[in-house]
Chain A
């Protein structure tokens, strides 16, 4: 005898069998089993989870597109999550100072034939004599910046411990802010070595952080 087709069985998941089908099902254990399996499949489909975590990098890409299209018009695009403001600030300070040091180093290198090497001299305002009050003030400011830099670096190293409360997205947010700010500043002064230093450092760190996020995308983030 011919069994019921799979399509007929698929219909019988939702509809009642006609007389012939009912009679066949009464007599045929194979078709009964197959119908039960079909019902199980349909039940399984309806019970599939209705959520799947998207890749972690999906939001930054979407946000960039929404900004491009003018659909996001407020904010700077990044906000820290749950109590991690201090981390964002620390990352910002580190990058600011790191960028500044890079800028000063670039400037010192560019001016090497004309000026003596050394960060204090490199920090002199234009036209200031080495022993002038302006020079001493600049040196003090730089020394203070160096201290701040080292302190921030230490804090950053502590929070960057593998088991520390580091959130790559928060870090990315801080870096994005810095990149945007330095990019804007560079439109005003494109050749400024200090600004270029900040910008390049922030860009490099942002790329590294993005890479980390992508690598960890299996974990989800929200």
Chain B
């Protein structure tokens, strides 16, 4: 029978390697997904994911169980990614156009859509990507995003709309992009 999470956390707090490993097995894919999407590349994602775990294990004694462990860890991962982003310069790659304009999704091909979305996400400027990930992927509210990023909820909203617009440009066929602001003119 699986060991209860509460007991695992108690053991992990005491430095028990088996418990820490068990928590890692359970939540590493979730932590890595957050790090990977915010980072936009594998090497950085690995660093941030590792940093998340080190911070989380270090902070385990402060975990009171008021929220679910997964929620708490998720927050640690997001914070780590946001701090990691602030500590590094914006990569020029983010601003590069996609090598091939991304078409709209092929009917019924969810995998293709997912790949296109992931590719487009990687090419968003970091600031836009953060807000888009937090709101549309992770489900944070603008109030929560404002708190996380230290901006007003209205700023988060405005950044979100810009990010979505940029995503649409990246996902649309090149010929249909007239300019950065407008869909098209008749």
Q: What class of interface size applies to chain A in its complex with B? A: 35 or more
Residues of B within 8 A of A61 (CB): 46, 50
User: CB-CB < 8 A to A13: which residues of B?
Assistant: 164
CA of A41 to CA of B50 in the docked complex: distance in angstroms? 31
- Digitize B35-56: 1 where CB-to-A-CB distance is under 8 Å, 0 elsewhere: 0110000100010011001100
Question: Considering the complex, which residues of chain B in the window 124-153 have a beta carbon less than 8 Å from any beta carbon of chain A?
Answer: 132, 136-137, 139
Contact (Cβ within 8 A) B114 A44: yes
A10–B161 touching, CB < 8 Å? yes
Tell me if B85 counts as interface (CB < 8 A to partner A). no
Partner of A9, one of B25, B172, B183: B183
**CB-based nearest B residue for A42:** B136
Asked if B118 is at the interface (CB within 8 A of a chain A CB), the reply is yes
A4 touches B114 (CB 8 A): no
Least CB separation from B176: chain A residue: A34
Q: A125 — which chain B residues lie within 8 A by C-beta?
A: none
Cα–Cα, bound, A2→B157 (Å): 24
Q: Confirm or deny: B185 has a beta carbon within 8 angstroms of a beta carbon on chain A.
A: yes
Q: Which of A47, A74, A222 contacts B17 (CB 8 A)?
A: A74
- Interface segment out of the listed B1-9, B26-34, B87-95: B26-34
A43-55 vs B, Cβ < 8 Å mask (1 yes, 0 no): 0111111111111
Contacts known (A1-B186, A41-B167); A6 close to B181, Cβ less than 8 A: yes
**Number of A-B pairs, beta carbon distance below 8 Å:** 155
Partner of A71, one of B36, B57, B113, B181: B57
Do B160 and A10 touch across chains, with their CB atoms under 8 A apart?
yes
Q: Is A153 an interface residue (CB 8 A)?
A: no
Q: Is B10 an interface residue (CB 8 A)?
A: no
Would A65 and B50 be within 8 Å (CB), given that A2-B182, A48-B137, A71-B15 are in contact? Answer: yes
B76 contacts partner chain A, Cβ-Cβ < 8 Å: no
Q: Is the CB of B29 within 8 A of A4?
A: no
Out of B17, B25, B161, B184, which one reaches A72, CB within 8 Å? Answer: B17
Q: For residue A1, which residue of chain B has the nearest CB?
A: B186
Candidate in A8, A62, A79 with the most chain B CB atoms within 10 angstroms:
A62
Residue of B nearest to A54 (CB): B32
**Once the chains bind, are B18 and A79 in contact (CB under 8 Å)?**
yes
Select one of A2, A55, A63 contacting B185, CB under 8 A.
A2
Q: Which of A10, A45, A79 has the most CB of B within 10 A?
A: A45
Residue of A nearest to B56 (CB): A71
Is B171 interfacial (CB-CB < 8 Å)? yes
Contact assessment for B20 and A72 in the assembled complex, using a CB-CB cutoff below 8 Å: yes
Answer yes or no: B97 CB below 8 A from chain A CBs: no
Please, how many angstroms separate the alpha-carbon atoms of A41 and B114 in the complex? Answer: 10
| Chain A 147-187 near chain B by CB (<8 Å), digits 1 or 0 | 00000000000000000000000000000000000000000
Chain B residues in the interface with A (C-beta under 8 A) = 14-18, 20-21, 24-25, 28-33, 36-37, 42, 46, 49-50, 53-54, 57-58, 104-105, 110, 113-114, 117-118, 121, 132, 136-137, 139, 157, 160-165, 167-169, 171-172, 181-186
